[in-house]
Amino acid sequence: ITILILGFNFLKGKNLFEKNDKIYAIFPKVTGLLGSNPVLVNGLQVGMVSDIHERSRNLSDGIVVTINLARDVDIPKNSVAVISAELLGSASVVIEPGNSAEFLQNGDTLASRNKPGLLDEVSSSINPALKSLDGTLQSMDSLIQVAGTYFDPATKNNFHKIFANLSAASTSLNTLIASQNSSLNKTLAH
C-alpha cells in the first residue's frame, strides 16, 4: 500500500524523497497548464506544477500556480514566470532568470507575464487578412448589386436603344467615309 501511494504521488508530480521548496506564480489565465507539468529554467527541468487554484472567488484576481522545486537551484528574485504552450497542447512553466543578487526562498512569489502561444500568433496574423478579405467581399457584393440594377428590365431597354444608336452612328460614319473616300479618289485622279 505504501508503494502504491508513493507511486501515485510520484505520477502526480509529488516526490516525497526529494527537496520540495514551493514557490508561487499568479497568472491571469492558465490555458493548457495542468498539475505535474514541468517547470523549466534555461531548458532544464527544475520542478513541477503541483497545484493550480483560484486566488479568490473573483477569477479576475488571478490564478495561483504552485511550483515544487525538485532541484537545488538559485533563482533570482526578479525572474519572470511564463506559461509556454506547445503546438500539440502540452504546456510548461518557463522561468526566465533575472539578474538580481537576491534569490527566491521557499514560499516566495514569482512575477509573471503572458506570452502568446503559437496559435495566438497565427490567429493574430490571420485576423488582418480576414478583415481585408471581408472588405473585398463587401465591395464585390455592392458591385454585383450595382451591376444587377443595370440588367433591370427597364434599364435593359435603355441599353438596347444605346446599342442601336451606336450601330446607326457607326453605319452613318462608314457611309460618310465611303463617300468622302470616293471624292478623294476623284480628286486624286484629276
Could you report the per-residue pLDDT of 67-118, keeping only the tens digit for each? 988 888 899 999 999 998 876 668 889 999 999 999 999 989 999 987 766 6
Burial (CB < 10 A; 0-12, 13-18, 19+), residue 138, is exposed
pTM of the model: 0.57
Phi, psi of 86 (to 5 degrees): -85, 170
User: Among 10-14, 20-24, 83-87, 119-123, which is the least confidently predicted range?
Assistant: 119-123
Tell me the C-alpha distance between 36 and 50, whole Å: 6
> How much of the chain exceeds pLDDT 90, in percent?
25
pLDDT computed for residue 24 by the predictor: 94
pLDDT computed for residue 82 by the predictor: 93
Please, what is the angle between helix 153-189 and helix 118-150, to 10°?
70
> How much of the chain exceeds pLDDT 70, in percent?
75
pLDDT computed for residue 71 by the predictor: 84
